Amino acid sequence: MTGTVAEGAVLPRVEFDAQICKGCGVCIEACPEDIIEYAGSFNHRGVLPTQLVPDGLVRCSACGNCAVVCPDGAVTVDNLRKHLHYGKNPLRIGDMHYCP
């Protein structure tokens, strides 16, 4: 999405859960806008989690690539303009013990 907050643009909501992020960097590679970076401090796992760059929401297109490729479900994206939600499905949280 283009525009700034002052122009009244509808910005997406992107959230990174630093506590469950394992710092693999897959979301950084998947972002077409190059607005995701490693954080400056380690989380409780001892890895650098990911975060948005400053003013990243203004340049974010809310494509959802970061949330789709995240193996931990640490990223959620809400595209408020198109009413789409990308991220971990709350019905599929946890491991299935029935699968081999």
Q: 14-32 pLDDT, tens per residue?
A: 899 998 899 999 999 999 9
pLDDT of 52 reads 92
Q: 67-76 pLDDT, tens per residue?
A: 889 988 899 8
pTM for the model stands at 0.72
Adjacent-strand bridge partners of 76: 15
Section 82-97 average pLDDT: 60
Split at pLDDT 50, 70, 90, the class of 1 is: very low
